[in-house]
Amino acid sequence: MTLIYPSPIFGPIHSRRLGVSLGINLLPADGKMCSFDCIYCECGFNRDFRPKQPMPTRDEVRTALEAQLRKMQAEGPAPDVFTFAGNGEPTLHPDFPAIIDDTLQLRDRYFPKAKVSVLTNATQTLRPAVFDALRRVDNNICKLDTIQPDYIRHVDRPNAAYDVEAIIDRLIAFGRDCIVQTMFMQGEYQGRSVSNVGDEWVLPWLSALQLIQPREVMIYTLDRETPAAGLQKATREQLDHIADRVRQLGLQCSVAY
């Protein structure tokens, strides 16, 4: 079932990777808005869920977040993390940098032990204000499914110009303080393989990780229904083998099966 999240606050939910997560959705509550159109996205294809409502304003986000934090402070549970995610790419919000500042202030006031995470496809890291905002959060979790442009066009499907080498350069510029997140899967889409678990995909990706030197690598596979038919999970054995190769580079790696 396609997931369209409330806005601007949803949860808390239990995240496979992040623990008790309070979601922050900066995108409209009635549809999807993203600079990618991934064939595996739990929110569906962009064309099928075009929003009619506006994005929440900075003030609306701050007000809703503070109300929820007061409730959680009184009733629990305490969040492990505030996660910017939801119906697409959070860094598309024009006030994203200022909202990050607001969130950090509220976090420090109500739950100073919680982390602030952003799940991003990294397309907006080329904008200096977004890049700087991502440097201020605890966990900037940046997508890099592969470094092959043809695979990116077929699977991640950017809806604007996308230069993977430029994105890798921006990830390097985080100075070993970013988290790289990669989806591994198998199967076919439109008659073409989408498997990226073989050496022809993994070895160039590992070479990119050596350049980026991320603080952590998160690898995962399909967990929910996908809008494209024919996609299959990577196996536990495949993910473990890839994770071992990441760790051989001296990098921390977590796996969500």
Query: What pLDDT is stored for residue 42 in this prediction?
Result: 94
Query: What pLDDT is stored for residue 14 in this prediction?
Result: 84
Q: Which two tokens stand for residue 55?
A: 């994005």
Determine the Cα–Cα distance for residues 163 and 126; give it in Å rounded to an integer.
10
Q: Which two tokens stand for residue 152?
A: 């990116």
Q: Can you spell out the DSSP letters for the chain?
A: ------SSEEEEEEETTTEEEEEEE-S-TTS-B-S---TT-TT--GGG----SPPPPHHHHHHHHHHHHHHHHHH-PPPSEEEEESSB-GGGSTTHHHHHHHHHHHHHHH-TT-EEEEEE-SGGGGSHHHHHHHHHSSEEEEE-S-S-HHHIIIII--SS---HHHHHHHHHHT-S--EEEEE-EEEEETTEE----SHHHHHHHHHHHHHH--SEEEEE---S--SSTTEEEPPHHHHHHHHHHHHHTT--EEEE-
CA atoms within 13 A on the CB side of 195: 12
Asked if 164 and 204 count as a contact pair (C-beta separation under 8 A), the reply is no
Tens of pLDDT, residue by residue over 2-23, are 788 999 999 998 876 678 999 9
Q: Which two tokens stand for residue 133?
A: 């905002």
What CA–CA distances, in Å, run from 185 to 62, 86, 197, 239? 37, 22, 7, 9
Query: What pLDDT is stored for residue 46 in this prediction?
Result: 96
Which amino acid is it at 9? I
Tens of pLDDT, residue by residue over 70-114, are 999 999 999 999 999 999 999 999 999 999 999 999 999 999 999
Determine the Cα–Cα distance for residues 82 and 93; give it in Å rounded to an integer.
17
Asked if 117 and 81 count as a contact pair (C-beta separation under 8 A), the reply is yes
What CA–CA distances, in Å, run from 223 to 16, 23, 229, 231, 235? 10, 18, 14, 11, 12
CA atoms within 13 A on the CB side of 54: 6
The torsion angles phi and psi of 9, rounded to 5 degrees, stand at -120, 140
Query: What pLDDT is stored for residue 15 in this prediction?
Result: 73
Q: Which residues of the chain fall below pLDDT 70?
A: 1, 16-17
